[in-house]
Amino acid sequence: MAENIPAPTVPSKHAVVTGASSGIGAATVRKLRADGWHVVAVARRADRLEQLAKETGALAFAADVTSDDDVADLAAFVAERGGLDTLVNIAGGARGADPMATAVNDDWEWMFQVNVLGTMKMVRAFLPALRAHGHGTILNLTSSAALAPYEGGGGYNAAKFGQHALTGALRLEEAEHNIRVIEVVPGLVRTDEFALNRLGGDPDAAAKVYDGVAEPLVAEDVADVVGYAVSLPHHINLDQIVVRPVAQAANHKLIRKL
């Protein structure tokens, strides 16, 4: 008589979240863990990751998404722990607000590395596992900077336009593998680091970005949207979700009550 061996189970609600040391990435880890997900939290800053892991029960993995070696090590780490069904690419950011006439090479190169190439490297590394799973999800966090250019935003616009474009191409390429590809497109979000990092660490300049805006989005708002999108039944694909505060009717129209 044949031995009754149970079929292997396919992991579900197993996510990798990048950019997890602060802001939207950290809030997304908290949201998914609260909703019962298994999460591998990824970022460069190991100390912050360890603190988040203690708080939430997520697994921490320190890695730079622009490093081929780090990404390969991360993929092996995840595979050893049962794999994943969902990849959430939050890592990204902006540096500088200079017009094209005074564009800084290092700022532009960094933005392309982390927003575009970092996303590509993460997707490339995890596509085999997501295809094998049969019901994989990839969510890329872009920005409303990907939808409309603005003065002083050339480098960030270009990087986020690039990330937006690769997300669209990925959706077309991977539909036949039953991988849904979601793009979340935030507008103005007040976090501890985004504007500060963009504006060279100047706290006064960073604070002015949000001056007079009664209720800008916060990281937890965007994390709620991410959590909702990846938790829907798999046959539902939210191709693109633009999320802004009510005060931001468009990139160029922000209501400030000074």
Residues paired with residue 243 on neighbouring β-strands, in sequence order: 186
Helices (H) and strands (E) in the chain, counts: 9, 11
Radius of gyration in angstroms for the set of CA atoms belonging to the chain, rounded to a whole number: 19
Calpha distance 83→50 (Å, rounded): 21
Beta-carbon count within 10 A of 172 CB: 9
Catalytic residues: 156
Residue 118's region, left for phi above 0, alpha for psi from -120 to 50, else beta, is alpha
User: Measured in whole angstroms, how far is the alpha carbon of residue 82 from the centre of its chain?
Assistant: 22
Q: Indicate the DSSP class of residue 112.
A: I
